[in-house]
Chain A
Amino acid sequence: MLGFPASAKRGNLLAALGMGLAILATIFLYKDNNGNPLGNHLWIFGGLLIGSVIGTMMAKKVKMTGMPQMVSFFNGMGGACAALISLVEFNHLSHTGLEGADPLYLIIIFLGLIIGSISFSGSMIAFGKLDEKIKDKVLPGQQLINIGLLSVILIIALLNSFDIVEGTSIVYVLLVTSLLYGILFVLPIGGADMPVVISLLNSFTGVAAAMGGFLYDNKVMLFGGILVGSAGTILTVVMCKAMNRSLTNVLIGNFGGGKSGVDSAEVQGTVKSINASDAAILMKYSKKVIVIPGYGLAVAQAQHVVHELETVLEKEGVEVKYAIHPVAGRMPGHMNVLLAESNVEYDKLLEMDEINPEFATTDVALVIGANDVVNPAAKNDSNSPIYGMPILDAEYAQQVIVMKRSMKAGYAGIENELFYRPNTSMLFGDAKKMLSELISELKKLD
């Protein structure tokens, strides 16, 4: 049902309903090995109530542009929940005696703890970074530290599972190291990679939930978790492909922070700037305009204005389409959600493969707050860190107008030679403000 926008909402409600049923069934029907039902109903309902109220409030309050952070935050909560479950189960087990415990059972508990903790701390860092509260940081030897830390975590868990190392306090060591790993893992990753990371952390939490399913022999948990785990992993891979980067590359974390390899060839030439009234004239007399939105559009909250521009242009008989790069914004489909919010018609949002052949017949490509996704260096400069990433072929349009706040480089931290091309003009300023100016200029022309 999630296959179509129209039925997706129903699918979501259905899933929510199923979840509610599963929760109620667990509370009232669950029996442990000795046939005792669950107690502490007051606590359970109290927790459910508090969580529901806070969750609904947060989810209702958040702006559409803040969605990626929100998803990341809720994901972290799920991870923390999984880690806590493992923690309690381990404590429970250590009371009844660890010696006779099944090593597989212990491995499952540890995995739940490790994955859940990484997912929690990682998601919190991702949340902070997307919210622009935390900056990218790369420690010297970051890759070695990360790999080393991960190996330490796994070795401790394995040794402990097979009774080679004794002691119950080791579980807290695991908790702390896993949390630390989550932080170090996400900290150096640049904004361009955030969608991949969130998707990956999402699938982590899925796996952590599945561990819980093994633990309690609970099929709903197991299948739900595995489903999310596999779907999340595939989604992650699909996104990596869209950026032409391998998953290991993202995992070890060497992109987006400071060093971007060899500096790509210095871009020569001058930048031409254009003012709103000239840009308006240019567009008014075009047959076809393709809008390329990027994160700048989201930051400026310009989605409604861009729709207004579209309507004004269409009244003039100009064909308007949107070209959506798979990783435009901070999440896949981020631009689609934003533009859908402002009532842009679904059929006008075209994916990269569909729209690329059309640029040759386009009069004006209007780039709004996007940068790396239209950088021709991805195709012709093998030294460029984004070399090989599929891009939108805005360069083939008759005229390219780039709306941008400054000449600052994009998230990959590299120059964009497109801006220096003779057929490119820059329209400097905040996307929302410039779009409104364009609209008023267009109206004046009538």
Chain B
Amino acid sequence: MQALIDFLANNELMIYLVILMIFLGIELIEKVPSVLHTPLMSGANAIHGVVIIGAIIIMGQADNILATVLGFVAVILGTLNVVGGFVVTDRMLDMFKKKKK
């Protein structure tokens, strides 16, 4: 229990920011018309590709074979998520662009 209280006390700012982000996320969805939900989902999909940063960190710190191999795979998969996500979203949004003549 003490650990939890310490954790909360040490990360007060972070926790506030997390809550802020949650509200921002809710706000974001409510502003988007449902016609854009598919690209939105795809865009959100690309954004959670930030997990790549974690993969880069483990890769950069890898000092044994297991960590190197897993880290390398993680970097590839993470990049797939980021790059694929953004390209797919871009293609979808292109569809909306064209008709604006």
Contacts and interface: CB of A to CB of B under 8 A. Distances in A.
Contacts of B9: none
A15 interface: yes
Interface size class of A (residues with CB under 8 A): 35 or more
Interface in B5-24: 7, 14, 17-18, 21-24
Interface size class of B (residues with CB under 8 A): 35 or more
A176 interface: no
Given A2-B40, A81-B77, A343-B99, A104 B3 contact: yes
B63 to A, nearest CB: 9
Nearest to B29: A234
A6 B100 contact: yes
Interface stretch (A25-33, A310-318, A422-430): A25-33
A19 B79 CA distance: 11
Contacts of B40: 2, 231, 235, 333
Contacts of B96: 5-6, 8-9, 337, 340, 346
Nearest to B31: A3
Interface string A296-311: 0000000000000000
Interface in B28-49: 28-49
Contacts of B43: 2, 11-12, 15
B59 A47 contact: yes
Nearest to A307: B99
Nearest to B81: A78
A50 interface: yes
7 contacts: A6-B96, A9-B93, A30-B56, A51-B77, A55-B83, A84-B74, A210-B18
Interface of A: 2-3, 5-6, 8-9, 11-13, 15-16, 19, 22-23, 26-27, 30, 32, 37-41, 43-44, 46-48, 50-52, 54-56, 58-60, 62, 64, 67-68, 70-71, 73-75, 77-78, 80-82, 84-85, 87-89, 91-92, 102-104, 198-199, 202, 205-206, 208-210, 212-213, 215-216, 218-235, 238, 324, 326, 331-334, 336-337, 340-341, 343-346, 349, 351
**Which 4 pairs across A and B sit closest by C-beta, in order of nearness?**
A51-B79, A38-B60, A47-B75, A230-B25
